[in-house]
């Protein structure tokens, strides 16, 4: 299907097939489902619906490929192949960005400046990291020498969400390949297109057949559960909802798979009165509403110290009203469409719940005028809610934030930690001692001071409490995607 976008070129949406053992294939029973464009609710194409049969084929191919040419490749050759995947992604950046925008409803400029370049960088970064990777060695007096060797875990299942489809998939795939594993990928059912193209990109880069397999389908009773239950899958790296993580853990327990979890968040954004409010507001607009608020790291609970609360709210509401919501391919658009009908209804239900819980909608909370088709919602700011309200406690994953005043450091730390999530936090202050003091007490895996979403891929990334298990990034990714064997030699 040819889709005319408002950017200079057309892009071809396509039917998404599985990629198994180096070939694109349909499902054994021919089953497909619609891929819907969130911006206008039109069908972009058909997606092959995989199940146990396709997962069995993909896992068998991945298992066989573990001991094939991939294992025999020299370090230099493997690094070159992984780098080449990144190069091809950059060569096809515009096409991939348009497809990502069509699939997700996110602004095209966002896909082309963040999602796709970062996807390419994931391969470049982990390929380079691989060259310097070592292990440990210890001499035990004059008795023995111990050294560890690193080996792949085996067949790894990579299960992905829809909000940053290619970026998060490649964040897993790059270190997974660098560590020598083979893989079966289950992309999110709502965003299948860039994952589908990744199959041919890997093939062109020189990845041997069977090393990267991609099976489309749903989660429960479908491709997702078949992957997590499969006895020949050695590890699962999952990014998605906390509730899904709990289901996967049960399934994976049958064969005691290694698990890495990046789950939901309800992240505090803590603003002290001594911070530079204009800078705070500029970044808070992004940390609240970028990608339609559909980023696990978004700071959806905004706590503002009382002396500047009124001033902050007034400016923040005014700036939020200026954000253009609409056509993802219009360069003026700051907020695109939410991912789909079901998610849109869920986000809207939280807006209604906020009213029932006594909240005041300061701006937003409704579909923008003139946008009857597509899953659009005006960026929404809610005040007046108590810390125990469901809207303050539960992840909404949309352009909806709450603002709450606070009076002391102790109070805001207690409120920030008062949730079962622990993914990220932002702290705004010009007091260096306070920054250290507060950061040391917030229960989150990633904390930013006077910034947000500034990432160095060498650093540990992940959540505590019910926001995740394990860390990814740099060495931490290699820890997950490899097994260490200690060899002890008596001298
Ligand atoms: P989701 O949990 O509904 O789905 C994620 C993936 O899991 C999809 O591919 C889905 O098909 C699959 N799945 C669902 N049920 C399954 C099952 N029973 N067995 C196997 N696979 C199954 O999540 P979503 O709605 O796609 O994504 C949004 C969520 O992801 C939010 O909670 C968000 O916070 C989280 N997220 C976290 C991070 C992070 O780094 N911590 C990053 C992005 C998104």
Q: Where are the alpha helices (DSSP H) in 13-107?
A: 52-65, 69-72, 75-91, 93-104
What is the tally of helices (H) and strands (E) in the chain? 17, 22
Whether residue 420 lies inside any domain: the answer is yes
- Please give all residues whose beta carbon lies within 6 A of any atom in ligand 1, as ranges: 159-163, 168, 186, 188-189, 218-220, 224-225, 228, 239-241, 244, 247-248, 262-265, 296, 395, 397, 423, 463, 468
Classify residue 129: in a domain, yes or no: yes
**Nearest-angstrom CA–CA distance, 375 and 328:** 12
Is residue 169 assigned to a domain? yes
Distance 326 CA to ligand 1 centre (A): 25
| 178 touches 125 (CB < 8 A) | no
Q: How far apart are CA 51 and CA 222, in angstroms?
A: 5
Whether residue 255 lies inside any domain: the answer is yes
Mutate to test the pocket of ligand 1, among 52, 118, 216, 241 (most ligand atoms within 8 A of CB): 241
Question: Do 327 and 437 lie in a common domain?
Answer: yes
What does the alpha-carbon distance between residue 363 and residue 382 come to, in Å, rounded to a whole number?
8
Task: Please give the backbone phi and psi of residue 353, each rounded to the nearest 5 degrees, phi first.
Answer: -60, -40
Q: Are residues 380 and 426 in the same domain?
A: yes
pLDDT tens column, 187-237:
999 999 999 999 999 999 999 999 999 999 999 999 999 999 999 999 999
Distances (CA, A) of 124 to 71, 90, 117, 179: 20, 11, 11, 14
Best of 223, 226, 244, 339 for a ligand 1 pocket test (most atoms within 8 Å of beta carbon): 244
Distance 240 CA to ligand 1 centre (A): 2
Whether 286 and 244 map to the same domain: the answer is no
Which residue has a Cα nearest atom 22 of ligand 1? 219
Ligand 1: which atom is nearest the Cα of residue 161?
26
The C-alpha atoms of residue 30 and residue 471 are separated, in whole angstroms, by 39
Residues 80 and 222 in one domain: yes
The answer to the question of residue 224 being in a domain is yes
Query: Ligand 1 pocket: which of 33, 222, 240 to mutate (most atoms <8 Å of CB)?
Result: 240
Q: Does residue 4 belong to any structural domain of this protein?
A: no
Print the domain residue range for 385: 268-456
- Tell me how far the alpha carbon of residue 230 lies from the centroid of ligand 1, in angstroms: 19
Measure CA of the first residue to CA of the last residue in the chain; give whole Å: 68
How many whole angstroms separate alpha carbon 408 and alpha carbon 104? 40
What is the number of domains present in the chain?
Answer: 2
Same domain (yes/no): 296, 236: no
Q: Nearest 10 degrees: CA dihedral of 71, 75, 81, 84?
A: 160
Measured in angstroms, how far is the CA atom of residue 236 from the centroid of ligand 1? 13
9 in any annotated domain: no
Supply the CATH number for residue 289's domain: 3.40.309.10
Instruction: Render pLDDT for 366-412 as a digit per residue (tens, 0 to 9).
Output: 999 999 999 999 999 999 999 999 999 999 999 999 999 999 999 99
Overall pTM > 0.95: yes
Could you identify the atom of ligand 1 that is nearest to the CA of residue 423?
41
> Which protein residue's CA is at the shortest distance from atom 20 of ligand 1?
224
Co-location of 190 and 284 in the same domain: no
CATH of the domain at 211: 3.40.605.10
Inter-residue contact 397 to 263 (CB < 8 Å): no
Burial of 179 (0-12, 13-18, 19+ CB in 10 A): buried
Query: Which ligand 1 atom lies nearest to the CA of residue 186?
Result: 9
Q: Counting beta carbons within 10 angstroms of the beta carbon of residue 139, is it exposed (0 to 12), middle (13 to 18) or buried (19 or more)?
A: exposed
d(CA 80, CA 314): 53
The ligand 1 atom nearest the CA atom of 164:
43
Distance CA 324, CA 329 (A): 12
Residue numbers in the chain where pLDDT is lower than 70: 1-9
Same domain, 259 and 300: no
Q: Which residues of 317-327 are buried (b: 16+ CB within 10 A; e: fewer)?
A: bebbeebebbb
Q: Are residues 48 and 28 in the same domain?
A: yes
Check whether residue 73 and residue 184 sit in a common domain: yes
Separation of CA 393 and ligand 1 centre (Å): 19
| Active-site annotation, residues | 262, 296
Would you say residue 259 lies in a domain? yes
Pairing of strands 212-214, 360-363: unpaired
SS3 349: helix
- Other C-beta atoms lying within 10 Å of the C-beta of residue 117: 17
Query: Does residue 418 sit in the same domain as residue 272?
Result: yes
- Separation of CA 420 and ligand 1 centre (Å): 17
pLDDT given at position 9: 53
| SS3 call for 17 | coil
pLDDT number for residue 170: 98
Structure-block tokens of residue 146:
């111990």
Residues 150, 65: one domain? Answer: yes
Shared domain for 334 and 474, answered yes or no, is no
Pairing of strands 155-159, 137-140: unpaired
Supply 137's token pair. Answer: 């060695």
**Confidence (pLDDT) at 2:** 53
CA 86 to centroid of ligand 1, rounded, Å: 25
């Amino acid at each position: 299907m040819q889709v005319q976008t408002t950017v200079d070129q057309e892009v071809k949406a396509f039917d998404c097939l599985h990629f198994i053992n180096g070939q694109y294939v349909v499902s054994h029973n021919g089953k497909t489902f619609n891929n819907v464009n969130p911006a206008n609710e039109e069908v972009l194409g058909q997606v092959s619906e995989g199940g146990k049969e396709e997962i069995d084929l993909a896992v068998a191919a991945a298992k066989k490929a573990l001991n094939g040419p991939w294992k025999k490749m020299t370090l230099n050759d493997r690094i070159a192949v992984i780098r080449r995947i990144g190069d091809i992604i950059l060569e096809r950046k515009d096409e991939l960005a348009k497809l990502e925008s069509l699939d997700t409803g996110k602004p095209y400029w966002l896909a082309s400046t963040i999602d796709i370049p970062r996807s390419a960088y994931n391969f470049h970064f982990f390929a380079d990291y691989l060259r310097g990777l070592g292990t440990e060695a210890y001499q035990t007096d004059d008795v023995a020498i111990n050294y560890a060797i690193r080996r792949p875990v085996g067949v790894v299942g990579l299960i992905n969400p829809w909000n940053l489809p290619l970026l998060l998939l490649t964040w897993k795939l790059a270190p997974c390949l660098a560590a020598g594993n083979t893989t079966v990928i289950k992309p999110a059912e709502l965003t299948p297109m860039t994952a589908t193209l990744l199959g041919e990109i890997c093939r062109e880069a020189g990845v041997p057949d069977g090393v990267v397999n991609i099976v489309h389908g749903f989660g429960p009773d479908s491709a997702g559960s078949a992957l997590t239950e499969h006895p020949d899958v050695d590890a699962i790296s999952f990014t998605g909802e906390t509730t899904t993580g709990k289901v996967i853990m049960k399934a994976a327990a049958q064969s005691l798979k290694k698990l890495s979890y990046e789950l939901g968040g309800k992240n505090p954004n803590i603003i002290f009165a001594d911070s530079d409010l204009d800078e705070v507001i500029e970044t808070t607009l992004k940390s609240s509403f970028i990608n339609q608020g559909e980023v696990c790291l978004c700071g959806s609970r905004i706590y503002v110290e009382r002396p500047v609360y009124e001033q902050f709210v007034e400016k923040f509401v005014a700036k939020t009203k200026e954000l253009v919501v609409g056509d993802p391919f219009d360069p003026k658009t700051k907020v695109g469409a939410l991912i789909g009908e079901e998610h849109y209804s869920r986000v809207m239900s939280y807006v209604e719940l906020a009213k029932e819980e006594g909240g005041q909608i300061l701006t937003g909370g409704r579909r923008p005028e003139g946008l009857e088709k597509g899953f659009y919602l005006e960026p929404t700011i809610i005040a007046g809610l108590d810390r125990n309200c469901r809207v303050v406690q539960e992840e909404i994953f949309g352009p909806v934030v709450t603002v709450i005043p606070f009076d002391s450091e102790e109070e805001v730390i207690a409120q920030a930690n008062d949730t079962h999530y622990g993914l990220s936090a932002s702290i705004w202050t010009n007091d260096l001692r306070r920054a250290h003091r507060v950061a040391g007490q917030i229960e989150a895996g990633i904390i930013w001071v006077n910034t947000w979403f500034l990432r160095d891929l060498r650093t540990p990334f992940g959540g505590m409490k019910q926001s995740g298990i394990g860390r990814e990034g740099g060495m931490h990714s290699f820890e997950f995607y490899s097994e260490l064997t200690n060899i002890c030699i008596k001298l």
